[in-house]
């Protein structure tokens, strides 16, 4: 599959536009926001459906509890705030009032990872995937671009159960199909290859595709798979790919601990292990900078993926 950039858009706008469309289709959909309506791109929903939009102020714990309570009356609540405040700040509320209580809340988190940029490490959560995937019954979704995020919003509304939807701030290449159907738990093979598997998620998917092109020029055939859902993981697709390539790389805008890399390593360790390298943040906090500077500094770009590919091939 050859992808071309349709435009550059932020994934958070995919969330906002998807939520607005969903609001028109389903009057059980409600949205809650903790003083970040503009940043979350929830303005259109808030303006069109004022009765179904709940501004909680800067009180994320209360927001999660209210969302849990609204499900009892049959609502489908979407909470919106930054990833840091959607997870770490309210972990116990999510654990008890949402996950353990089996409430149908969609926890929608923007500004995940390093690419929120200049705000720095206080806001750059790199642990959220790990936190959320550890909770029993939680689905963890990480779309890669605007179109995919928009599609994912509609899909998670139809899924009965708590979901964590992770997306980001910067404008990035928008390259997946318009009006695609998003399938929970399905990994997408974006490029077939035979030498090495690159499993990427979120913003790193585009970087993986760029890296694969450059690897081709070096005579290396890379298979690129978009892991759109960290939990449940598409184990079949991953095992099928690595049984062919016999080595792999994971790439994510997240800590190595608890993220996609460790998730996949666990899968392989319990099946057939193969040489593996992980492109992730290595037990560090982020810092202020532009998204591009940060992704380069923490080695989360196409160059880092190429380097990891060469290393893992040498271990084959």
- Point out the residues that are catalytic: 60
Question: 115 Cβ partners below 8 Å, 6+ apart?
Answer: 168, 169, 170, 172, 203, 253, 291, 294, 295
Residue closest to 125 by CA, chosen among 116, 115, 112: 112
The reply to whether 87 sits near another protein by the rule CB under 8 A is no
Least distance from another protein to the Cβ atom of residue 190, Å? 38
Residue closest to 200 by CA, chosen among 292, 271, 304, 290: 304
* Block residue for tokens 């590919």: 309
**Could you say which of 6, 43, 44, 101 contacts another protein (CB under 8 A)?**
101
The reply to whether 1 sits near another protein by the rule CB under 8 A is no
The reply to whether 26 sits near another protein by the rule CB under 8 A is no
Whichever of 96 and 216 has its CB closer to another protein, that residue is: 96
**Could you say which of 29, 31, 40, 70 contacts another protein (CB under 8 A)?**
70
Q: How far apart are CA 156 and CA 158, in angstroms?
A: 5
The reply to whether 75 sits near another protein by the rule CB under 8 A is yes
Q: Rounded to an integer, what is the distance from CA 22 to the centroid of its chain?
A: 20
Q: How far apart are CA 215 and CA 230, in angstroms?
A: 26
Q: How far apart are CA 295 and CA 189, in angstroms?
A: 24
Whichever of 97 and 155 has its CB closer to another protein, that residue is: 97
Least distance from another protein to the Cβ atom of residue 131, Å? 16
The reply to whether 285 sits near another protein by the rule CB under 8 A is no
Least distance from another protein to the Cβ atom of residue 65, Å? 2
Least distance from another protein to the Cβ atom of residue 184, Å? 22
Q: How far apart are CA 96 and CA 118, in angstroms?
A: 33
Q: Starting from the edge strand earliest in sequence, which strands make up the sheet with 139-141, in order? A: 53-55, 29-33, 76-82, 106-110, 163-166, 139-141, 229-231
The reply to whether 134 sits near another protein by the rule CB under 8 A is no
**Could you say which of 5, 48, 88, 92 contacts another protein (CB under 8 A)?**
92
Contacts with another protein by CB under 8 A: the residue count is 32
Q: Which stretch binds another protein (CB under 8 A): 94-102, 146-154, 174-182, 293-301?
A: 94-102
Q: Which stretch binds another protein (CB under 8 A): 56-64, 250-258, 265-273, 305-313?
A: 56-64
3-class SS shares of the chain: helix, strand, coil, % to 5:
40, 20, 40
- Residues binding another protein (CB under 8 A): 30, 51-52, 54, 56-57, 59, 61-75, 77, 92-93, 95-97, 100-103
């Amino acid at each position: 599959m050859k992808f071309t950039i349709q435009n550059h858009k932020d994934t958070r706008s995919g969330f906002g536009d998807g939520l607005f469309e969903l609001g028109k289709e389903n009057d059980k959909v409600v949205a809650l926001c903790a003083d970040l309506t503009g940043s979350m791109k929830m303005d259109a929903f808030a303006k069109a459906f004022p009765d179904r939009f709940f501004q909680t102020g800067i009180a994320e714990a209360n927001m999660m509890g209210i969302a849990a309570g609204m499900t009892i009356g049959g609502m489908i609540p979407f909470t919106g705030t930054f990833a840091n405040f959607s997870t770490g700040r309210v972990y116990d509320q999510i654990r008890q009032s949402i996950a353990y209580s089996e409430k149908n809340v969609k926890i929608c988190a923007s500004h995940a990872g390093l690419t929120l940029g200049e705000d720095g490490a206080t806001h750059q959560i790199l642990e959220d995937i790990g936190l959320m995937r550890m909770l029993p019954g939680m689905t963890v979704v990480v779309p890669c671009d605007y179109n995919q995020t928009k599609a994912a919003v509609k899909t998670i509304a139809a899924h009965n159960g708590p979901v964590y939807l992770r997306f980001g701030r910067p404008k990035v290449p928008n390259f997946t199909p318009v009006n695609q159907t998003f399938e929970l738990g399905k990994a997408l093979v974006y490029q077939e290859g035979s030498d090495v598997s690159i499993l990427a998620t979120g913003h790193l998917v585009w970087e993986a595709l760029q890296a694969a092109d450059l690897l081709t020029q070096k005579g290396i055939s890379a298979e690129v798979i978009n892991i759109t859902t960290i939990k449940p993981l598409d184990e079949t697709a991953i095992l099928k790919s690595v049984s062919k390539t016999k080595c792999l790389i994971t790439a994510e805008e997240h800590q190595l601990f608890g993220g996609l890399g460790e998730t996949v390593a666990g899968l392989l360790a319990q099946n057939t292990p193969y040489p593996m390298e992980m492109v992730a943040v290595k037990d560090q906090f982020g810092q202020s900078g532009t998204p591009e500077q940060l992704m380069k500094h923490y080695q989360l770009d196409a160059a880092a993926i190429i380097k990891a590919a060469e290393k893992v091939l040498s271990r084959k």
